[in-house]
């Protein structure tokens, strides 16, 4: 398995924290992953806890998998928030 994708919900906020952490823990336990894509195409809302989850994934990735991190399909206010929060330093955007 070279690529792994996580489809994020319409509201990417604290209510998604448990699910996101479970996916991240399963991910960092795997080997051979070259790319992790976060599918933002459905996301219309995200809050500060979502940004914290993105930073946490980046840190865990650095310590373990070392895959390329990609945010895919971000748009509208979600994209603006990601850019303001400088997520472009941690993730590639497509």
Query: What is the tens place of the pLDDT at every residue in 12-43?
Result: 999 999 999 999 888 878 878 899 999 999 99
Render 28-75 in DSSP notation, one character per residue. HT-S---EEEEE-TT--EE-HHHHHHHHHHHHHHHHTT-PEEEEES--
The whole-angstrom separation of Cα 91 and Cα 94 is 10
Residue 89 is given by DSSP the state: G
Query: What is the tens place of the pLDDT at every residue in 59-85?
Result: 999 988 889 999 999 999 999 999 999
> What's CA 48's distance to the chain center, in Å?
13
* Threshold 0.85, pTM exceeds: yes
HSE-CB for 82 with a 13 A CA cutoff:
28
Question: Domains along the chain?
Answer: 3-93 (3.30.750.24)
């Amino acid at each position: 398995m070279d690529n792994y994708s996580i489809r994020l919900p319409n509201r990417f906020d604290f209510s998604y924290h448990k699910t996101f952490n479970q996916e991240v823990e399963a991910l960092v336990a795997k080997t051979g992953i070259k790319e992790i894509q976060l599918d933002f195409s459905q996301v219309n809302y995200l809050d500060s806890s979502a940004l914290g989850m993105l930073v946490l994934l980046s840190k865990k990735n650095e310590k373990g998998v070392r895959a390329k991190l990609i945010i895919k399909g971000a748009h509208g206010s979600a994209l603006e928030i990601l850019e303001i929060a400088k997520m472009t330093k941690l993730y590639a955007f497509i």
